[in-house]
Amino acid sequence: MYYVVTIATLVTMALALVRAVLGPTVYDRVLSVNMFGTKTVLLISVIAYLAGRPDFLDLALAYALINFIGVLAVLEFFKSRTARRLQEQSEREEN
Amino acid sequence: MELLGIYHYWVFAVLLMIGFYAVVAKVNLVKKLIGLSLFQSAVFLLYITMGKVSGGTAPIFLKDMIDPVFSNPLPQVLILTAIVVGISTTALGLGIVVRIKEEYGTIEEDEIQEIDRR
Amino acid sequence: MTVLFSVFLLTLLVITAIAAVQSRNLFVSVMLLGIFSLLIAANFLLLDAADVALTEAAVGAGISTVLFLGALALTFEREHRPTPHRWLSLAVVFAATLVVLYATFDKPKFGDPGAPVQVHVAPWYIEKTPEVIDVPNIVTAVLASFRGYDTLGEVFVVFTAGIGVLFLLSASHGHAAQRRPHNGDESKIGLRNDLIPRVVGRLLVPFILLFGLYVQFHGDYGPGGGFQAGALIAAAVILFALVEGEERTLEAIPRGALLALMVSGAMLYGLVGVAGIFLGGEFLNYSVLADDPIAGQHLGIILIEAGVGLTVTGVLLSIFHAFAARDRF
Amino acid sequence: MQVVLDIISWVLLTAGGAFVLVGGIGALRMPNLYTRMHAASVTDTVGAILVLGGIMLQAGLTLATIKLAAILLFLLITSPTASYALANAAMIAGVKPEAGRAPDTEHDS
Amino acid sequence: MTDLSMHLPAIQVVAPMLLAPLVVLLKPRGLAWMAATAGSIMAFLVALNLAGQVLAGADVRYVMGGWAEPYGIGLRVDEFSALLLLIVNGASAAALLAARRSIDDAIEGDRQPLFYSAWLLTLAGLCGIVVSADAFNIFVFMEISSLASYILVAGSPDRRALPAVFKYLMMGTIGATFYLIGVGLVYMMTGTLNLADMELRIHEVADQRPILVAAGFITVGLALKAAVFPLHVWLPNAYTYAPHAVTVFLAACATKVSLYVLLRFDFVVFQQNLVGHELQFTAFLMPLAALAILVGSAVALFENNLKRLLAYSSVAQIGYILLGASMISVAGLSAGMLHMFNHALAKGTLFLAVVCLATRLATFDLREMAGAARAMPWTMAAFVLGGLSLIGVPGTAGFISKWYLVTAALEQGWLGVALIVVVVAGSLMAVAYIWRIVEAVWFTQPEGGAAEGGTASMNEAPLLMLAVTWAAALANIGFGLYTSPQRELAEKAAGALLGQLP
């Protein structure tokens, strides 16, 4: 049964990767990175259980957390870029 | 099993090639650093692969373990150190790139050379 | 079956790497690099390297992404033109690959318990660790004690990178730098003006810090240790900076404090080593730190792991602030 | 009793696997960002609940279950937040829900 | 009080390393410099002590953490490493003593503590490489020294230093990673990281392909870091645009330490165990060494920037060292090692003179340096002494090593004659490029008329700087006339490295 889940997760990771490569917008890529991260968390949980090593679950937690922070950092980066663009636009309009 | 072993090493070789290609052929400095990261990651894979024992488990004793087979802890220790070295190099490289951008207004290698030639 | 998972993950790894190098949008490359890190970390886990997997995820997917983004925010997001064909370099790369492939054929079989790496040195560690150091995590034992000198070097590599970035980014701005409109915290756009991420972020920060401390002090028993903990704690503070803004973060932990963290961590490690000399042992000999050698080893490992954690936290946050502050001057 | 637990956990795991896969396919095949986000985020949460729940049932009342619960809780908090932040950022940047494509400035590969 | 003398190998590395974090905190002006200089001089004294012990026949070993090799990490100081320790610490101490004014000009006061901290880390890293007996430990310390030296080079106010240092970083990291791959392959086949243990265990697997490839990776990686021709492309710019005092330090010892690792690894681990490796080593490195001498010198002939000229001359000098080593004979190897020492002296003197010049001159373009010697006769006199030593004029240190090199080449039969031709050609070109500088600064009339050059009063560099430069210059003469200590070290080291060879 675990194998079913693992395979499903792996395939989904591959699909997410395809989306990340295809884009087309950067936000699609952020989405697929986020998806990829959560799927990795699931994968590791399953592997941890398969290998009989519950201590690996710490890893899964760390991944979930790092993934979240990574995604927020990326979004912050984009928001500040958007803000800069909007500000430049409004300045241009004022002139 | 044997094929898998070779597969690991081949992936190592391919990753090495991809990273190395990015380092030597790309003109964008950030891209070069990305290539460098890939290049170093390939080496991590080499080390960790050689430490694996089939049927082994991570070298951490658990309470209810009877006669465990452990994979080799030494390459793992080495790679922990190497990862840290890698991120340090990347950070320093990025710092230099930022300074280059501030001084030259570009981070493309050929444009920088062009500016220096003038 | 795990074997097939490995093959699959490795294949994804190669695809990700190619895509990361191919994309001309640097931002996309950085994100793919993050995926690459998660993938290779999952692979490490399948190869029984739990500590390495944790480090690679925290560093590669977390810290490295943040640093690259910080640098991209200060430079450009796109490569200006396609890669020129440099035939010489391609030939060099190709030759190097052939050489590496040539080496694959005489290698010991994958997972062979009789391979040289498994029969020399390593079994000694596995056998002796319960006896002379007595911590369950052999990786920690080797890292902190048997090869503690390497780890001292590692801490100083991190420290060097820290002072390097501080040094570089404290230089006066060059002539090509353009002053950007100061839109940092006043703009209405940005996560710190977003209710949901802000609330969730603030909620999570203490738990992540707690988790970081757990990883720090649980490193003797499970995957973890000073470096991973340092990266996690730094990540927590970065999250705080994302949702609350740079200024608030710097108010909470000023730059001077970060520098003090860097220095004190490195010094703590060094002084534990020196204490070994003055208590009659060699440099970094922890056995002499207490009456009982094993208790001494435990004490030494806890202290040096704390040193590693302090330095790593200090350095990573210093670098983060150095990049972030360079944006608004 | 054990058999019942096993069966329930298998059902959960299988369903979880199916959800995860469906989410993946959705994220790939949906026409634009917001629909993809729907596919990804709904199954992110449900998939995670089912899969982790299935493992929890297998693990029984151990430390592993507590850790799994912590992971699940964490995912349940962060996943929607990330989705929200993503949608918000995309909207501010001008990615329109109805259009299949983003404005030219954002379009890249 | 604990007896520290048995801990000297560890102290050699750890003292500058632990001083570095403290130096960061020394904000008041000049204090960081003082601390760094004091630390560096102390490290030099430690190195002298170690060299004395080694000369007295002691085999200095140390085990870190009390774990026996190969399980723990061992340190070892033998003749070769003692020689390198002297070079590294001597260069650092001399450069730091002379550096203060020069660094004050280049770097703002509040950034200086970071800079001096990086300096100490470079020193610690280089010492760490030299004393280590563990292949992976060498990598770690190589990275400390490299990262820190990138910082040093990037300290220059000249913006061209930045692309130069980026290239240096790229090449350096590739080199180090190649080395890591090589070490990984050797480890894979032998199961050990300790150099001495590797030597014992490599017999059984010596004919297998991974070992062969490992030898290739390690050699190429370290050659890259040592700037062996044609992998030297990072060196000229990095040396040219680095702060002047940094150039003194790095030019005198950075590449030599990589060369040291190359020779040590090759001779200890591979040479005696791999069939046909001697031949490959010679066939690969000897032509490169000869080309380095010829091309490096030739480029220097046409270079107009003084620092860059000297940098290319360094490429040529690395060629001499390698040429000696590639002969794989005691005489050749000891000539190469001796040349490491003597070149460090000569090039150190020359760059120290450059530091002095930099206090008064705005440019290093030879065409615009006319008459500089009139303003700074003492500096230029020291420069000429260093130049004579570089050329290899009898009575200077440079002569000794070239003489040994020629003697060693004679043992090689007809091939040797060709090598002698190369050495002589390189030396003649050295005469030519040193003469170009001398001509420019002593004999050319400055174009601005007599107002500037003729009546310009003596405008010498600060006293301490000048004193250090002259001390180095006189050392060139001193070691040219009285050669025993460093020659003895080199000969014993070469004997030890080649000892087990058939």
pLDDT band, residue B4 (cuts 50/70/90): low
Q: Is A82 on the interface with C (CB under 8 A)?
A: yes
> What does the pLDDT profile of chain E (502 residues) look like in tens digits?
467 788 889 999 999 999 999 999 888 878 899 999 999 999 999 999 999 888 888 888 899 888 888 888 999 998 889 999 999 999 999 999 988 888 888 888 888 999 999 999 999 999 999 999 999 999 999 999 999 999 999 988 888 899 999 999 999 999 999 999 999 999 988 888 998 888 888 887 777 888 888 888 999 999 999 998 888 889 999 999 999 999 999 988 888 999 999 988 888 888 777 777 777 788 888 889 999 999 999 999 888 888 899 999 999 999 999 998 888 888 888 888 889 989 999 999 999 998 888 887 777 887 777 777 777 888 888 888 999 999 888 888 888 888 888 888 888 888 888 888 898 999 999 999 998 888 888 777 665 544 444 444 567 778 888 888 889 888 888 888 876 777 788 888 888 777 654 3
**Are B91 and C165 inside 8 Å of each other by CB?**
yes
Contacts of A51 in chain B (CB under 8 A): 57
Residue owning tokens 């294949």? C11
Neighbours of C112 (CB within 10 A): 19
Tens digit of pLDDT for each residue in D17-26?
898 898 889 8
pLDDT at D103: 45
Asked if the model's pLDDT at residue C187 lies above 60, the reply is no
Tell me what pLDDT residue D102 has: 45
Length of chain E: 502
The string of pLDDT tens digits covering residues A47-95 is 888 877 888 888 899 999 999 999 888 888 888 888 877 877 887 777 6
Q: Which DSSP string corresponds to E24-55? A: HT--STTHHHHHHHHHHHHHHHHHHHHHHHHH
User: Is the minimum CB–CB distance between E181 and chain B shorter than 8 Å?
Assistant: yes
Tens of pLDDT along B29-70? 999 999 999 999 999 999 998 888 888 888 888 877 777 888
Test the C interface: residue of B2, B94, B100 with most C CBs within 10 Å:
B94
Q: What are the Cα distances from residue E296, in Å, to E254, E318, E419? A: 18, 9, 16
Q: Please tell me which residue of chain B has the smallest CA distance to A50.
A: B57
Are residues B57 and A51, on separate chains, in Cβ contact within 8 Å? yes
Hey, which residues does E76 pair with through a beta bridge?
A: E61
Question: Considering only CB atoms, which chain A residues are within 8 Å of B57?
Answer: 51-53
Q: Is the pLDDT of residue C184 over 50?
A: no
Query: In degrees rounded to 5, what are phi and psi of residue E74?
Result: -105, 155
pLDDT of E454 reads 42
- Cβ contact D33–A54 (<8 Å): no
Maximum distance among all alpha carbons in chain C? 66
Within 8 A of A65 by CB-CB distance, chain D residues are 74, 78
Tokens describing residue C143: 């890292």
- pLDDT tier at B3, thresholds 50, 70, 90: low
Nearest-by-CA chain D residue for C22: D109
Rounded to a whole number of angstroms, the distance from the CA of B40 to the nearest CA of chain E is 7
Phi, psi angle pair for B70, to nearest 5°: -105, 145
In A, residues 32-71, which contact C (CB 8 Å cutoff)? 33, 36-37, 40, 43-44, 47, 50, 53, 55-56, 58-59, 61-63, 65-70
CB spacing of D109 vs C23 below 8 angstroms: yes
> Residue C52 corresponds to which tokens in the numbers above?
């390495």
* CB-closest option in A1, A45, A75 to D85: A75
- Residues D89, D95, D96, D98: is their CA dihedral positive or negative? negative
Tokens of residue E480, six digits:
């040219």
What pLDDT score does C183 carry?
46
**Chain C residues close to E117, C-beta within 8 Å:** 163
Nearest to C194 among D74, D77, D85 (CB): D85
Q: What is the pLDDT of residues C80-107, one digit of tens each?
A: 777 776 788 788 888 888 888 887 777 7
E136, C142 Cβ separation under 8 angstroms: no
pLDDT of residue E44: 94
E91: left (phi over 0), alpha (psi -120 to 50) or beta: alpha
* Paired strand residues for C53: none
Q: Which of C78, C194, C203 sits opposite D88 (nearest CB)?
A: C194
Percent with pLDDT over 90 in chain C: 40
- pLDDT (0 to 100) of residue C260: 92
Q: Please state, in angstroms and rounded to a whole number, the distance separating the CA atoms of residues D92 and E436.
A: 66
- Give yes or no for a contact between C231 and C316, defined as CB atoms under 8 angstroms apart: yes
Q: What is the pLDDT of residues C249-294, one digit of tens each?
A: 888 888 889 999 999 999 999 999 999 888 888 888 888 888 888 9
Touching subunits of B (3+ CB pairs, under 8 Å) are A, C, E
Residue bearing tokens 């500058």: E16
The DSSP line for C266-280 is HHHHHHHHHHHHHTT
B75 touches chain E (CB under 8 A): yes
User: Is C320 a residue whose pLDDT tops 80?
Assistant: yes
Number of H helices, E strands in chain D: 3, 0
Contacts of C223 in chain B (CB under 8 A): 58, 60
**Secondary structure class of C133 (helix, strand, coil):** helix
Please tell me the predicted confidence (pLDDT) of residue E147: 94
DSSP string, E315-359: HHHHHHHHHHHHT-SHHHHHHHHHHHHHHHHHHHHHHHHHHHHHH
Q: Do chains A and E touch (3 or more CB pairs under 8 A)?
A: no
> Across all residues in chain B, what is the average pLDDT?
88
Contact of E32 with E117, CB cutoff 8 Å: yes
Token pair for residue D101?
A: 């494509």
Paired with C161 in beta bridges are none
E65–C286 CB contact, under 8 Å: yes
Q: Are D42 and D8 in contact (CB under 8 A)?
A: no
Classify the phi-psi angles of E363: left when phi > 0, otherwise alpha if psi is within -120 to 50, otherwise beta: beta
At residue B48, φ and ψ (nearest 5 deg) are -65, -35
The type of residue at E349 is: T
**Closest by Cα among C129, C139, C299 to C222:** C139
Residue D79 has pLDDT above 50, yes or no: yes
Which residue(s) pair with C137 in the sheet? B60
Amino acid, single-letter form, for residue E332: G
Split at pLDDT 50, 70, 90, the class of C191 is low
**CB–CB contacts below 8 A, B to C:** 317
* ipTM score of complex: 0.93
Q: Which of residues 260-279 of E touch B (CB under 8 A)?
A: none
Helix axis angle, E31-55 to E484-498, nearest 10°: 70
- Strand, coil or helix: B57: strand
**What DSSP assignment string belongs to C247-268?**
HHHHHHS-HHHHHHHHHHHHHH
Contacts of C144 (CB under 8 A, 6+ apart): C151, C225, C300, C301, C304, C305
Q: What is the mean pLDDT of chain D?
A: 82
- Three-class secondary structure of residue C78 per DSSP: strand
Q: What is the pTM of this model?
A: 0.93
| Number of Cβ within a 10 Å radius of residue E276 | 10
Please check whether residue E293 is in contact with residue E324, taking contact to mean a CB–CB distance below 8 angstroms. Answer: no
- Contact call for D92 and A35, based on CB within 8 A: no
Q: What part of C 184-243 touches E (C-beta under 8 Å)?
A: none
Provide the pLDDT for residue E450. 43
- What whole-number distance in Å separates Cα of residue D80 and Cα of residue D68? 19
